[in-house]
Structure 1
Amino acid sequence: MSETVRNIDQALAGITEPWQPHRLTSVNDYDVKVVKMHGEFVWHTHPETDELFMVHSGRLTIQLRDGDVQLGPGDIFVVPAGVEHCPRADEETSALLFEPKGTVNTGDAGGERTAQLREL
């Protein structure tokens, strides 16, 4: 068995574009992704899975149709499967995402912000 120590700050330092998730590691059937965010993403859902956001630095607003959720460093929020949401970062923000392998960042919306998962 190969054990690799990964450093979140080093991983984030290698990311140059917002909204482009990179796989930090995997746990069972889940990817742990790091991402930098700035600006508004797209409204979308993940019909088959929950999505966990953990803010590392900065501030993130998860816009929901029934109200916004504000997150700061160390905060975690789970968007339930099928709930329409739109992340927004008014300042550069970094976060970890926990999602099943193969989850597309734009969910059911698709479009130009759909990213190919990158390896670190």
Structure 2
Amino acid sequence: MKQNKINLKDKFVKFNDLWSPRVIAQMNDYQFKLVKVAGDFVWHVHEKTDEVFLVIEGTLDIEFRDSKVTLNSGEMCVVPKGVEHKPSAKSQCKIMIIEPENVINTGNIESKLKAKNNIWL
């Protein structure tokens, strides 16, 4: 079986929408999603799954109700299920999110930032 490599830079140039995840790979039930972010997202929680944020380029802040973590290129954070959080970036940041398929990006919150699921690049 031929293995296809995925070039993240090539994938990032194929879209410009902010806060709109694009699936680039799937492993079992987990999807690898690229996202361009800038500004503030919404406070939200994923009750049934953890969520991984991996910064590819730029700086991402993830606020929690009692703390904040700042991630730079090459750094990641696992947000445990049930933990309310709000990602933000002062300038455009490119990230990868790893989570099960069909997870709603805004979690339990209805928002204009709610993105469609399963958009593949």
TM-score using structure 1 length: 0.96
Query: 1:7 and 1:73 mapped to 2: Cα distance?
Result: 16
Structure 1 counterpart of 2:23: 23
Query: 2:89 and 2:2 mapped to 1: Cα distance?
Result: 36
Query: 1:15 and 1:68 mapped to 2: Cα distance?
Result: 29
The alignment yields a C-alpha RMSD, in angstroms, of 1.0
Structure 2 counterpart of 1:100: 100
Measured after TM superposition, the shift of residue 56 of structure 1 is 0.2
Structure 1 counterpart of 2:77: 77
Structure 1 counterpart of 2:33: 33
Runs of 5+ consecutive residues of structure 2 not aligned to the other structure: none
Q: Does 1:86 align with 2:86?
A: yes
Query: 1:47 and 1:16 mapped to 2: Cα distance?
Result: 29
Describe the superposition over 1:5-36 as per-residue Cα deviations: whole angstroms up to 9, x where unpaired. Answer: 21111111112111010001001110000000
Query: 1:75 and 1:29 mapped to 2: Cα distance?
Result: 23
Query: 1:3 and 1:29 mapped to 2: Cα distance?
Result: 19
TM-score using structure 2 length: 0.95
Query: 1:89 and 1:2 mapped to 2: Cα distance?
Result: 38
Structure 2 counterpart of 1:68: 68
Aligned length: 120
Describe the superposition over 1:87-117 as per-residue Cα deviations: whole angstroms up to 9, x where unpaired. Answer: 0000100000000011111011122111013
Runs of 5+ consecutive residues of structure 1 not aligned to the other structure: none
Structure 2 counterpart of 1:56: 56
DSSP-derived class of the 1:119 partner: coil
